[in-house]
Amino acid sequence: MGKMVRIAVFASGNGSNAENIIEYLRTQATPAHAEVACVVCNKPGAGVIERARRLGVPCRVMSAAEIRDEALMGGVMDEEAIDMVVLAGFLMMVPPFLVERYRGRMLNIHPSLLPKFGGKGMYGRHVHEAVVAAGERETGITIHHVSEECDGGSVIFQASVAVAPSDTPASVEAKVHTLERLHFPRIVAETAARIAM
């Protein structure tokens, strides 16, 4: 078996996706071929920091300025020997030097069926509010490669779920989280397996 693919998960918020990916790679991905080597968080106090601590995964809390500092950030990625990056609720544009360094090895999850409800300002609850306001009959998740463009990059996987007239942004969010839990860790594992080849 080849060497383990070392993943950095970048997150700004609650971190439920980060936790699911960490757990999945430890328990479900067979043979084990990838691991979350570290979490990078740009929001002091974010839930993901406590989750990482509980799971024993090193977490680097860094400011936006530090993340944009090529020498500093490049050094962190070198130190942790990161092969692949997963954005899981990371609410900052990734600096171009990182996009370039991890092209084809950096994924993002977006909580809608892109290109619908993507782009600037479309994150978290805003997405689900817009979906409900537009009277959409379905929504879903998009897992895509990261490019220089916000929510751009080629799509790797989409899954959809029905939106009922009685749905609220909160209930849509819950449905979307279920899809995320179901698919994101597996797609991360499959992408890592391709990188390992």
Enumerate binding residues for ligand GRF (CB under 6 A): 11, 13-18, 88-89, 109-111, 124, 180
Edge to edge, the sheet with strand 106-110 lists 59-61, 34-41, 5-11, 84-87, 106-110, 138-145, 155-162
| Amino acid found at 64 | A
* CA atoms of 27 and 137, how far apart (whole Å): 35
193: number of Cβ within 10 Å: 15
The token pair at 159 is 């899954």
Least distance in Å: CB of 58 to ligand GRF?
Answer: 18
Least distance in Å: CB of 14 to ligand GRF?
Answer: 4
Least distance in Å: CB of 52 to ligand GRF?
Answer: 12
Known catalytic residues are 110
For ligand GRF, the closer CB: 69 or 190: 190
Residues 6 or more apart from 81 whose CB is under 8 A from it? 6, 37
Name the residue with the smallest CB distance to ligand GRF: 89
For ligand GRF, the closer CB: 49 or 98: 49
For ligand GRF, the closer CB: 95 or 124: 124
